[in-house]
């Protein structure tokens, strides 16, 4: 069985946590950065993340696993492959060509969906992706994040009445 401590160890080994001066996607400045793009390009880390999420989901009743582009798509793909649950990819915005969809993959009315993300700060971008799923008929059962920076995401998800589970928090890492 894969453990949270093992995930922390391999993230440390791969130097995913960096110190310095950074601007986050939320616009906040930070003296550390969690380079999950580096992490999710390492097969062992990606496999470990998928195993941990798969241990936590109830297969009964989950129809789709979704991830917002870009960072969560490899995670959602790994979870999908391991669980055999079909995948959805959520775009940040509609593309101006082809089908112009925000959701790639087949989302049916009232599909039960779990959503995954690499890192959350405030949770705003993940909540936006969840609302896209809800507006298109999906029922989001739970949101998972690999690392929560503990800067408001938990409260944001409570406010939206969405179950939220980080695999690890930044304080557990440090």
- Say if residue 118 carries a ligand binding annotation: yes
Structure tokens at 65: 């696993």
Residue 172 dihedral angles phi and psi, to the nearest 5°: -65, -35
- Give me the residues paired with residue 120 across strands: 148
Q: 117 among the known binding-site residues?
A: yes
56 annotated to bind ligand = no
Exposure b/e, 49-71, CB count within 10 A at least 16 = b: bbbbbbeebeeeebbbbbbbeeb
Is 106 annotated in a binding site? The answer is no
25 belongs to an annotated ligand binding site: no
Whole-number Å distance between alpha carbons of 86 and 64: 5
Query: Is 170 marked within a binding site?
Result: no
Q: Is 38 annotated as a binding residue?
A: no
**Residues 57 and 29: beta-carbon distance below 8 Å:** no
Which phi and psi (to 5°) does residue 44 adopt? -65, -40
Per the annotation, does 124 bind a ligand? yes
51 is in an annotated binding site: no
Binding-site sequence positions for orotate = 121, 149
Give binding residues as ranges.
91-92, 95, 117-125, 149
Task: Specify binding-site residues for 5-phospho-alpha-D-ribose 1-diphosphate.
Answer: 91-92, 95, 117-125
């Amino acid at each position: 069985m894969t453990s949270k401590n093992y995930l922390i160890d391999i993230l440390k080994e791969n130097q995913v946590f960096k110190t310095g001066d950074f601007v986050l996607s939320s616009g906040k400045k930070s003296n550390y950065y969690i380079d999950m793009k580096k992490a999710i390009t390492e097969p062992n880390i990606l496999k470990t993340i998928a195993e941990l999420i798969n241990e936590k989901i109830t297969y009964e009743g989950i129809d789709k696993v979704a991830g917002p582009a870009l960072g969560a798509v490899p995670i959602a793909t790994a979870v999908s492959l391991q669980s055999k649950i079909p995948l959805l990819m959520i775009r940040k915005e509609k593309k101006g060509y082809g089908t112009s969809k925000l959701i790639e993959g087949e989302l049916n009315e009232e599909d039960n969906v779990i959503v995954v993300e690499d890192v959350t700060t405030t949770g705003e971008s993940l909540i936006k992706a969840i609302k896209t799923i809800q507006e298109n008929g999906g029922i989001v059962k739970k949101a998972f994040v690999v690392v929560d920076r503990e800067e408001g995401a938990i409260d944001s998800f409570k406010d939206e009445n969405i179950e939220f589970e980080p695999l690890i928090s930044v304080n557990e890492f440090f």
